[in-house]
Structure 1
Amino acid sequence: MADQADRWSLWTPVAFGMGCAVYFGLGREPLTGVAVGFLGLALTLLVAARRLPVRRETALVLILAAFALAGFSTAKLRTQAVAGPVAPAVSGPVQIEGWVVDVASPGQSGGSRIIIAPTQIEGLAPEVTPTRVRVTLRGVVPPAPGAALRVLALLNPPPPPASPGGYDFARDAFYESIGGVGFALTPPERLRLLAPPPRLRLDMKINAARWRLAQQIVASMGPETGGLAAAMVMGNQAFIPPEQIEHMRASGLAHLISISGLHMAIVGGFAFAAVRAGVAAWPWLALRVSSKKVAALMGLAAVACYLVVSGAPAPAERAAITASVAFAAVIFDRRAISLHGLALAALIVMLIHPEAVTEPGFQMSFAATAALVALAEAWPRAIREISAPWPIRLVQTAMTWLAASLAASL
């Protein structure tokens, strides 16, 4: 522990994540007062570690305990904030009226999926109506986001894991405010509804713009290649032909059509390199501003814009936060790639989505990135030679090659 006292900040996301994991491992839901009390205790421990005359090892234990308590409280408060009604299991079809928020990716069984913000569900009072429901359509073109519709569907609560330890769709749906899933029995019928709330209206406008852009890509490139291009650029898989999806799943390449860190790195890195090269090509501007900081600002803007365009899936959000921390480090004259920056990115992700600690994608992404960054920090750096005139460099190079040849011949 004494060896890690100087690097205590690297262990704060680990402690925070352990606190989140303890919450999600509980068999019963704790009271909200427990979370609030733990937050107060965490603050007390941080003050004690800062003000009391204790050993560094003791202060480290107090700090990590405070972050663990804060992680537990954050997970509880996040759950409390997103909690919403869940549709009951029904034996017959029901009429659903509402707004199309987005068009989701098709499932393995085929069929288009739409996310609906219901204004009315037959047989349910307004206070027990789910915030969002996902409905699968068969044999029809899905309506664009922002459309008001009525559909007859079989509606049920999100299903639990099919086997112990399996994928828990109900948990993911809970944190996405999806309180019901169903299958449409009739084609959706358009209708008029009262104006939606401002937040819902903004979400639908953004998703409608993404939908139109995907349609333009498919129209210009054709359905065979346009659907795949729209998925790789925007994460919208609704236009990919079903046989292409099956082939990619069978070959293990389905992950390529999901927006992830690779896409964010391409967008952010290209914007950074292009802006920095542009500033360097303009001598008047290069003498007055820091090209690296201007490029980092543009990289931040590019990552933020692409996150909106891609629909902000979880992998893209993690990558955007990590890239934003790196660009912010450049702006504030810090190392762009470091374990401290990665720790800060992990903390931000868990503060926003503490449920991410239960997802293998989060665990593997940060574990792999931490290993690479740690290797980069531990790798010995070659000593850079002092710039010298070319005749001297020529002699030095010749002597180096001669020494290497002699060593190889021994």
Structure 2
Amino acid sequence: MVRLRPVPAVGVAPIRVTFLLHGAVQGVWAAQIPAVRESLHLSAGDLGFALLLQVVGGLAALAFAGRLVRRHGAPVAIRVGLVSYVLVLLAIALTPSFAVLLGVMVLFGATGAVSDVAMNAYAVAVEGELDRPVMSGLHGAWSAGSLAAAALAVAGATAGLGPSPLLVGAAVLLLAVAVPALVGVVALAEVPGPPTRRRPPLAPLLGLGALAALAMYAEGAGADWSGVYVHDVTGVAAGPAAVGYVGFAAAMVAGRLVGDAVVRVVGPVTTARVAAAVSVVGSAVAVAAVAAPMAVAGFVLLGAGLSVLVPLIFSAAGRHGGARDSGSAIATVSAMGHAGWLVAPVLVGQVAELASLRVAFLTVALAGVALVFAAGATAAGTTPKGGGEADDE
């Protein structure tokens, strides 16, 4: 197998742009979902099934994404996966019917998953060579790209552009930016690394996967239900209530952008433990909210606390997997994490139906409490030198 030679700090820029572009693809699609639904005359059930197939395609692709990274290297997997992911936007723009859309959604999910695993595996390798954390900032770039692209797409739609020209224009622009970024990623020199005869033990990886499921359950609940929560619980009109999601999402971006600096000072375990505790406080504030500002403040704290947890968990998974199996390790943890994301909207909705949204968000607080106590797992594969990895347990 291969491992990256040491690279200067500027070597982080191409992979940062790659994360941003990956987020931008998702942001463009998310903003165009209502318009695509209208243009294809889809019912709510039709749209839900199409979105489900996107998730199914992603989960299915995780089964071979790790092997692709191990066999061909993360740079090749990034190049193939990201370019394909962008090109699927063109396929969506040209989709003539619901039946075709179903197949396109499977492909969209699969290409997104392959590029996601490859990017994270590559980021772990860069962290190792630079001997400092970069994962949180890269995930921050993803979030920033998603929000910016969605905002631009909404602005274009407001100006009168239909979904097809918007998706085509976005794909062309993203490809134009992706080419130089991917050249920078692929150009990193590689040398043969020592062969790995035995794979790392599975139990710690499953533990990290369980943490990812808890963190992504809380993320999914915040992303899908924050605006609804502010509207239903505090009585604010539906439009202004969206500030709940805006606060949550903005805090996620800000937290990820400063997360690496915090990890360098206090280490991954302390960062994860404090961040999880902040998410618990945020959930509690939202549950106790008697007015919209208090609820929004709770979701801001929730987003800030959750922001660094998934990057820390992925980084630990990649280190645990080692140079040869980092892609497979991240794919395993990612699959378990996405299971938590899938459960979130259903479980929160069902608990809200049986009790209330306040009670439903107590489950988010409980997930945060579990993350506080299990934060030590984020030290997996760290060394005593650099980056503050030597947290005392």
Larger radius of gyration: 1
> Larger % of strand: which?
1
TM-score w.r.t. length of structure 2:
0.35
> Larger % of helix: which?
2
